[in-house]
């Protein structure tokens, strides 16, 4: 048996949940979607992915770290943080759920990033299994099952409603707190829907992509691979791939002078930008080739080397859809693997 | 927008060194009054005013920006203000297009002899901005005091 | 067309006319071509593609290649709209024209996969052109879409199918399109109230993630160092931390290319957040046309840009304040 | 203040010494007049002037100095220019200590040490040198090879002459790049000087200086018969967070701010050549 929520009761669910915490849902905008706070009347997007990933919730694009007041030679240091509210994010796909685990490995490792941790602890993830994966999806390559997001609570669409499964204590408590809006039902339709999704996943064009040839021990072979020059040739050095990526976590720390104080904020940064490693005495990555290589080496070699073989990519396919010149991690992996096997 | 009685706008006036700044000077020596909340920034020529200057003035809390230069034909550098004229026209049009109150910006040609015109212009502009209220559409919230 | 292009590229490479060829290489799904530089006949033979999805404007790559080696002879295939950018870059001395062999490629408009996806077609594995429609193969079964419905937004309002610069032509040269309707949306916005316009642009620009794709892809953005990257400028904002910065970046960028923008539409094409950035550039073009006379950047390499010229009786800035509907 | 990694402590500059035309040494205390925090030789700290920037600097003073912390800083960028322009009493912000120190309590113990420094490269090594001098019984012989462009560019020449040279069991070899009036010491570049000195192969080398000096000196040491496992250096890359998260100083699977800045050359060999 499984808990079930009829589709026409989804709004009731959001309303009930909103009494306890802020609920964010994907909402359509021009040719894409983004998370918005649910309010009565909000229409939930039916799309597969939000344009940006859900990492914003824990690691926002910009965030104030600390403020300074300057007077003469003296400085006053102010911690600007306020209490974080509890919130839930609905409609998170399996790939994005996995990405949070990857971000955790960075931000929750010693020394813990308290800004991130705070948001993470206040957030509840409501996963949604995929029904119609896109051609750009390759989560299977990284061992992710699009039918089982493994979030705090998983929603599976079937039988004109959602089948609900809590995977964590936090999720269970949340489901229990909503009381009787769910009904008990036989789980068979949910299993059927998942099986159907898995069938589609097998048919996807990138379903045969493997991580063979990549990993923490492949530094020497891959770093000097001939393919990087061709692959990076057309790269325009923008940050699109980085900013839509659910696992990219590099950041910059900058000061902004407001005229009556200094706000020190951090913001997303991209290793694809020419000034990423530029310092007073020079720049160790002078051309786009090196910057481009860094991004993919980090996901496919450096990250697994430091994290028990786990790759820094979840196969969500956002970069495939949004790169201005259609260069992406799949093309990189295929070309380098081909080169490697040709040796 | 509700007009706040207490509202005293911050006005930034970019004045060309050769005409308008001298005009401001003359209005001062003639003891003509214009509000103290007009902050004059002296520039070598009205065409020195980069669109960025105007935006940054708004960012840092200006409620109105006025650019004053020599009358067309009288530019110390012969043609500078002709270029400024095209640039400011296009920029103002763009700001208007973005829905930012068009009356927050103005260009006036004020010669070195027009001290009275300078004071009158500033008084008029300050009144206009006071009526518009504080700049909210082109404001950097971090800079709000 | 692809085969003719390949043949000419190989011929010109073989007879030494050029040393490099700028074209496209295939992607994974037949709609995701990547611009590429070829140096051998074998590479072209096996990896050169040209189809309805090669919309990227490659004129800026000529500049990049010349920066690496200024005297290398380069072959580039340019669509009509790309030729305008090419001319503009030549006029600004960013491209050495003598070292480029331009093959103009006739164009009837490029397709945009976003439009196909927006029509609800998912899981695309292959797209075949079939007369006035596309047959789209997907994991959920085959679909068809009319070519007109898959046409990129910018191509639907094409300003010109005329090749303004070429050494030879493949396909057919076209004409400047009269009444292209490209200013319709701008005019619609102008007719709105200031509040509506503000609302419209906040909604669009607030999605900006400052990935810089619009800037980096823009053939008019050729500064050695952008003011937004220069730590000494005081506005080297890396992220749009405030709504003001979202506005400023796009106003300044549009202003800096005003008069030089050829309206190629790359900025809107590459925006991952689908912000209609071309509407900013088109506003400037429309204003310039109305205030200072019709001007098309990249028409030729001689005429003076409207912002580096003037007439004695230009309109006063006050014309803006005297317009209708506040 | 809190123990938040990204929120700095307050520091106050209590003394500024002009060492060379472009190097000044800043003494930093907390506003209460105590040392900001404890560290080990080779570790770094993030110094910042709010509104100007934040950057990583190696701590020049030795941990055995219980009273204050010192930073020798060369003027070369935006922040350092600001630091050079400030007066005594100026408050700054400081956070740290960051990075892995020289292994003074493990691998270096009991060893004969050879320090090779070029220009401002003496800054991180000075901390080790003074630490070793203060714990003399734990280490063997100490030889210091230090070179700069000119006599005026030798950082804190005073301490070198009056303290290091006066120490028993510390050999100091100085060199400058070009002949100069009032200089009767060695003239020549460091790589060649090291070869001329022909140090004992048993020594462990700690080296820091401009990349080109490191490159040629290392080659020279290899020629003499040293092993890469005997040579340590300390690196510099752009850093923002200092705790291995912002990704800027990432080379291979290492983060220079966390896994470095001190590396042994055989460890560096395993990293991609991107520094």
pLDDT tens by residue, D27-54: 999 999 999 999 999 999 999 999 999 9
Tell me the pLDDT tens digit for each residue of C57-88. Answer: 999 999 999 998 878 899 999 999 999 999 99
The number of distinct structural domains making up chain C is 3
| Contact state of A256 with B60 under an 8 Å Cβ cutoff | no
Closest to C35 (Cα-Cα) out of C161, C163, C217:
C217
Q: Are strands A22-29 and A32-37 parallel, antiparallel or unpaired?
A: antiparallel
Is A200 in Cβ contact with C139 (below 8 Å)?
A: yes
Q: pLDDT grade, residue B51 (50/70/90)?
A: very high
Q: Tell me whether C239 touches chain A (CB under 8 Å).
A: yes
Q: Are residues D181 and D122 in the same domain?
A: yes
Q: Which chains touch C (3 or more CB pairs under 8 A)?
A: A, B
> Which residue, D199, D214, D234, sits at the end of a domain?
D234
DSSP B71: P
Contact C241 B142 (CB under 8 A): yes
Q: Which of D250, D259, D261 to mutate to test the interface with A (most CBs of A within 10 A)?
A: D250
- Rounded to whole angstroms, how far apart are CA atoms D134 and D65? 9
Three-class SS of residue A28?
Answer: strand
Q: Which residues face A68 on adjacent strands?
A: A77, A262
Cβ pair C204:A30 closer than 8 A: yes
| Contact residues, chain A, for B143 at CB < 8 Å | 258-260
Q: What integer pLDDT is reported at residue D3 of this predicted model?
A: 60
D62 in the same domain as D30: yes
pLDDT band at A102 (very low <50, low <70, confident <90, very high): very high
**How do the domains of chain B map onto residue ranges?**
11-135
> With 70 as the cut, is the pLDDT of residue B74 above it?
yes
For residue D209, tell me if it sits in a domain.
Answer: yes
Establish if C278 belongs to a structural domain. Answer: yes
Tell me the average pLDDT across A149-165: 94
pLDDT tens, residue by residue, A240-297: 999 999 999 999 999 999 989 999 999 999 999 988 888 877 888 888 999 999 999 9
Strand order through the sheet with D23-29: D53-58, D44-49, D91-98, D9-20, D23-29, D69-74
Q: Do B and D share at least 3 CB pairs under 8 Å?
A: no
Task: Please report where in the chains the tokens 């001098």 appear, as a residue.
Answer: D133
Reduce the secondary structure of C16-52 to three states and give it as a string.
Answer: CCCCEEEEEECCCCCCCCEEEEECCHHHHHHHCECCC
Task: Inspect the interface and report whether the beta carbons of D245 and A113 lie closer than 8 Å.
Answer: yes
| Six-digit token string for A203 | 């048919």
C61 touches chain A (CB under 8 A): yes
Interatomic CA distance for residues A214 and A305, integer angstroms: 10
C244–B59: do the CB atoms touch at under 8 Å?
yes
Least CB–CB distance from B91: residue in C197, C255, C321: C255
**Mean pLDDT, rounded, for C222-242:** 87
The stretch D236-251 carries a mean pLDDT of 89
Are B61 and A259 a contacting pair at CB < 8 A?
yes
In terms of domains, do C128 and C243 share one? Answer: no
Residue D88 lies in a domain: yes
Pairing of strands C20-25, D254-255: unpaired
Residue C244 CA to residue C236 CA, distance in Å, equals: 14
Residue D54 Cα, gap to closest chain A Cα (Å): 8
Closest-approach residue (CA) in chain C for A287 = C68
d(CA A259, CA B52): 17
Percent over 90 (pLDDT), chain C: 83
Domain span at D152: 113-234
Please indicate, yes or no, whether residues D119 and D81 belong to a single structural domain of this protein. no
Q: Closest chain C residue to B80 measured between Cα atoms?
A: C310
Strands C168-170 and C100-105, by their bridges, are parallel
Chain A nearest-CA residue for D78:
A280
Query: Which CATH number belongs to the domain containing residue D224 in this structure?
Result: 3.40.50.80
Spatial contact of B9 and B63, defined as CB atoms under 8 Å apart? yes
Whether the CB of A242 is below 8 Å from some CB of chain C: the reply is yes
Torsion of CA B87, B93, B94, B97, to 10 degrees: 180
Q: Do C280 and B88 touch (CB under 8 A)?
A: no
Chain D residue set in contact with A, beta carbons under 8 Å: 1-2, 4-10, 50-54, 76-78, 80, 87, 89-93, 236-238, 240-241, 243, 245-248, 250, 252-253, 270, 272, 274-275
Give the tens place of pLDDT for each residue, D66-105: 999 999 999 988 899 999 999 999 999 999 899 999 999 9
Are A45 and A91 in contact by the 8 Å Cβ rule? The answer is yes
- Dihedral sign computed on CA atoms, order A90, A92, A97, A99: negative
Is D252 a domain residue?
Answer: no
Mutate to test the interface with A, among B142, B144, B145 (most CBs of A within 10 A): B142
State the smallest CA–CA distance between residue A56 and chain B in angstroms: 20
Structure ipTM:
0.90
pLDDT at A221: 87
Distance from CA of A80 to the nearest CA of B (A): 13
Q: How far apart are CA A240 and CA A318, in angstroms?
A: 10
Is B133's Cβ below 8 Å from some Cβ in C? no
pTM, two decimal places = 0.91
pLDDT score for C303: 87
C283 token code pair: 């506003």
Mean of the pLDDT values across residues A18-36? 92
Q: What are phi and psi of C36, to 5 degrees?
A: -145, 160
Q: What is the pLDDT of residue C214?
A: 95
Q: Could you tell me if D90 and D137 lie in one domain?
A: no
Chain C partners within 8 Å of A200 (Cβ)? 123, 139-140
As a whole number of angstroms, the distance between CA D51 and CA A257 comes to 6
What mean pLDDT is reported for chain C? 92
The distance in angstroms from the start CA to the end CA of chain B is 21
Average pLDDT over residues D237-251: 89
Q: Are C146 and C281 in contact (CB under 8 A)?
A: no
Q: Does the beta-carbon distance from B142 to A260 stay under 8 Å?
A: no
Number of A–D residue contacts, CB under 8 Å = 115
C323 vs B contacts (CB less than 8 Å): 96, 102
| CA angle, B34 then B36 then B38, to 5° | 85
Within this chain, do residues C143 and C214 fall inside the same structural domain, yes or no?
no
Contact yes or no for B86/C314 (Cβ under 8 A): yes
Q: Are A197 and A146 in contact (CB under 8 A)?
A: yes
A258 C-beta neighbours (distance < 10 Å), count: 19
- What is the edge-to-edge ordering of all strands in the sheet holding A62-71? A74-78, A62-71, A262-268, A251-257
The arrangement of secondary structure in B11-135, i.e. its CATH architecture, is 3-Layer(aba) Sandwich (3.40)
What is the domain-level CATH number for residue D28? 2.40.30.10
- Final residue of a structural domain among D98, D131, D154: D98
pLDDT of residue A3: 92
What are the distances in angstroms from CA A159 to CA A145, A162, C20? 21, 8, 58
- pLDDT confidence of residue B6: 79
Question: Token match 């008019």: residue?
Answer: C220
Question: Could you tell me the CATH number of the domain that includes residue C58?
Answer: 3.40.50
Q: Considering CB atoms only, which of A77, A219, A276 is closest to D272?
A: A219
Select from A203, A252, A330 the Cβ nearest to the Cβ of C28. A330
Each domain of chain A, given as residue ranges in start order, spans: 2-203, 219-342
Q: Given a contact as 3+ CB pairs under 8 Å, which chains touch A?
A: B, C, D
How far, in Å, CA of A93 to CA of A125, rounded? 10
Q: What is the pLDDT of residue D2?
A: 46
D126 shares its domain with D65: no
CA atoms within 13 A on the CB side of A172: 3
Lowest mean pLDDT among A151-155, B50-54, B117-121, C126-130: C126-130
Q: Say whether pLDDT at C310 is over 70.
A: yes
Interatomic CA distance for residues A337 and A60, integer angstroms? 34
Which residues of chain A are within 8 Å of residue D53 when distances are taken between CB atoms? 255
Residue C289 pLDDT exceeds 90: yes
Q: How many Cα atoms are found within 13 Å in the side-chain-facing hemisphere of D67? A: 3
Q: Is the pLDDT of residue A343 over 70?
A: no
Chain A residues near residue B62 by CB distance under 8 angstroms: none
Please, which residues 143-202 of chain C have a Cβ atom closer than 8 Å to chain A?
none
- Which residue, chain included where needed, has tokens 């840009």? C305
* CA A340 to each of CA A245, A295, A313, A332, C47: distance values in angstroms, whole numbers, following the listed order: 26, 19, 20, 12, 19
- How many CB atoms lie under 10 A from the CB of residue D37? 15
Q: Which domain holds residue C127?
A: 113-150
Which pLDDT band holds residue D114 (cuts at 50, 70, 90)? very high
Cα-based distances in Å from A51 to A26, A33, A45, A124: 10, 6, 12, 21
Q: Is residue C300 part of a domain?
A: yes
Query: H or E element: which one contains D26?
Result: strand D23-29
Alpha-carbon dihedral sign for residues B4, B10, B12, B13: positive
Q: Do D91 and A113 touch (CB under 8 A)?
A: no
How far is it, in rounded angstroms, from Cα C105 to Cα C1? 9
DSSP-derived 3-state class of residue A169:
helix
The span from the CA of C271 to the CA of C214, in Å, is 6
């Amino acid at each position: 048996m499984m808990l079930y929520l009829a589709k026409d009761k989804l709004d009731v669910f959001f309303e009930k949940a909103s009494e306890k915490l802020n609920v964010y849902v994907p909402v359509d905008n021009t040719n894409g979607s983004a998370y918005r706070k649910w309010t009565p009347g909000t229409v939930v997007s039916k799309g597969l992915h939000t344009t940006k990933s859900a990492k914003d919730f824990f690691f926002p694009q910009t965030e104030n770290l600390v403020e300074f007041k300057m007077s003469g030679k003296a400085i006053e240091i102010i911690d600007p943080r306020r209490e974080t509210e509890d919130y839930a994010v609905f409609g998170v796909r399996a790939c994005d759920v996995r990405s949070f685990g990857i971000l955790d490995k960075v931000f929750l490792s010693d020394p813990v990033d308290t800004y991130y941790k705070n948001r993470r602890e206040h957030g509840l993830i409501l996963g949604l299994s995929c029904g119609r994966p896109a051609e750009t999806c390759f989560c299977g390559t990284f061992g992710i099952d699009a039918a089982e997001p493994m979030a705090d609570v998983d929603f599976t669409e079937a039988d004109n409603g959602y089948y609900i499964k809590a995977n964590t204590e936090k999720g269970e408590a949340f489901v229990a707190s909503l009381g009787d809006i769910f009904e008990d039902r036989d789980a068979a339709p949910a299993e059927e829907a998942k099986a159907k999704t898995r069938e589609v996943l097998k048919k996807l064009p990138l379903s045969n992509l493997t991580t063979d040839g990549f990993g923490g021990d492949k530094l020497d072979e891959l770093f000097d691979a001939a393919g990087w020059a061709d692959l990076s040739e057309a790269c325009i050095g923008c940050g699109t791939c980085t900013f839509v990526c659910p696992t990219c976590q590099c950041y910059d720390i900058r000061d902004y002078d407001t005229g009556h104080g200094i706000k020190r904020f951090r913001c997303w940064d991209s290793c694809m930008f020419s000034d990423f490693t530029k310092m007073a005495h020079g720049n160790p990555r002078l051309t786009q080739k090196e910057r481009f290589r860094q991004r993919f080496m980090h996901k496919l070699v450096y990250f697994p080397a430091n994290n028990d073989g786990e790759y820094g990519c979840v196969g969500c396919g956002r970069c495939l859809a949004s790169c201005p010149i259609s260069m992406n991690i799949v093309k990189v992996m295929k070309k380098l693997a081909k080169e490697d096997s040709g040796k | 927008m509700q007009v706040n009685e207490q509202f005293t706008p911050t006005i930034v006036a970019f004045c060309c060194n050769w005409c308008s700044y001298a005009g401001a000077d003359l209005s001062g020596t003639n003891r003509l009054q214009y509000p103290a909340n007009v902050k004059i920034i002296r520039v070598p020529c009205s065409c020195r005013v980069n669109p960025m200057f105007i935006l940054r003035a708004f960012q840092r809390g200006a409620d109105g920006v006025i650019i004053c230069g020599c009358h067309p034909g009288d530019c110390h550098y012969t043609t500078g203000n002709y270029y400024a004229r095209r640039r400011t026209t296009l920029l103002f049009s763009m700001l208007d297009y973005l829905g930012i109150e068009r009356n927050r910006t103005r260009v006036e040609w004020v010669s070195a002899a027009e001290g009275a015109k300078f004071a009158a212009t500033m008084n008029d502009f300050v009144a206009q901005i006071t009526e518009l209220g504080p700049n909210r559409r082109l404001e950097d919230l971090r800079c709000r005091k | 067309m692809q085969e003719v292009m390949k043949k000419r590229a190989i011929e010109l490479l073989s007879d030494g006319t050029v040393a490099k060829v700028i074209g496209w290489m295939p992607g994974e799904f037949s709609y995701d071509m990547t611009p590429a530089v070829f140096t051998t006949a074998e590479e072209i033979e096996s990896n050169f593609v040209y189809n309805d999805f090669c919309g990227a404007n490659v004129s800026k790559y000529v500049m990049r290649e010349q920066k690496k080696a200024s005297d290398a002879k380069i072959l580039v295939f340019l669509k009509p709209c790309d030729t305008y950018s090419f001319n503009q870059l030549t006029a600004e001395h960013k491209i050495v024209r003598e070292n480029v062999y331009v093959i103009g490629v006739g164009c009837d408009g490029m397709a945009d996969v976003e439009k196909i996806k927006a029509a609800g077609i998912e899981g695309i594995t292959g797209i075949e052109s079939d007369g006035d429609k596309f047959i789209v193969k997907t994991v959920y079964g085959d679909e068809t879409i009319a070519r007109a419905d898959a046409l990129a937004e910018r191509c639907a309002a094409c300003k010109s199918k005329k090749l303004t610069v070429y050494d030879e032509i493949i396909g057919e040269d076209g004409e400047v399109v009269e009444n292209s309707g490209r200013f319709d949306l701008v005019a619609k916005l102008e007719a709105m109230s200031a509040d509506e316009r503000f609302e419209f642009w906040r909604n669009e620009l607030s999605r900006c993630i400052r990935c810089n794709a619009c800037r980096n892809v823009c053939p008019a953005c050729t500064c050695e160092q952008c003011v937004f990257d220069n730590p000494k400028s005081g506005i080297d904002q890396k992220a749009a931390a405030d709504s003001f910065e979202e506005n400023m970046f796009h106003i300044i960028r549009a202003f800096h290319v005003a008069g030089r923008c050829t309206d190629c539409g790359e900025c809107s094409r590459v925006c991952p957040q689908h912000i209609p950035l071309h509407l900013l550039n088109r506003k400037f073009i429309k204003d310039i046309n109305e205030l200072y006379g019709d001007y098309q950047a990249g028409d030729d390499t001689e005429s003076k840009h409207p912002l580096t010229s003037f007439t004695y009786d230009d309109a006063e800035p006050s014309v803006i304040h005297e317009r209708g509907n506040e | 203040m809190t123990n938040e990694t990204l929120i700095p402590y307050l520091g106050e500059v209590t003394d500024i010494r002009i060492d060379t035309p472009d190097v000044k040494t800043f003494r930093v205390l907390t506003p209460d007049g105590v040392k900001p925090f404890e560290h080990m030789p080779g570790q770094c700290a993030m110094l910042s002037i709010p509104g100007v920037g934040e950057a990583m600097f190696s701590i020049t003073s030795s941990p055995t100095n219980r009273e204050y912390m010192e930073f020798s800083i060369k003027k070369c960028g935006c922040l350092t220019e600001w630091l050079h322009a400030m007066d005594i009493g100026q408050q700054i912000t400081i956070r740290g200590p960051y990075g892995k120190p020289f292994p003074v309590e493990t691998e270096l113990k009991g060893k004969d040490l050879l320090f090779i420094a070029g220009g401002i490269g003496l800054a991180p090594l000075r901390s080790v040198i003074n630490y070793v001098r203060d714990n003399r019984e734990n280490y063997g012989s100490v030889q210091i090879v230090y070179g700069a462009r000119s006599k005026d560019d030798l950082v804190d020449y005073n301490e070198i002459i009056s303290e290091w040279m006066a120490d028993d069991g510390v050999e100091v070899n100085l060199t400058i790049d070009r002949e100069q009036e009032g200089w009767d010491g060695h003239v020549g570049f460091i790589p060649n000087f090291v070869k001329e000195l022909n140090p004992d192969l048993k020594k462990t080398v700690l080296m820091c200086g401009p990349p080109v000096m490191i490159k040629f000196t290392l080659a020279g040491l290899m020629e003499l018969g040293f092993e890469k496992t005997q040579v340590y250096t300390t690196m510099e890359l752009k850093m923002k967070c200092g705790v291995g998260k912002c990704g800027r100083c990432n080379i291979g699977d290492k983060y220079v701010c966390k896994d470095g800045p001190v590396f042994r050359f055989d460890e560096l060999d395993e990293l991609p050549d991107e520094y």
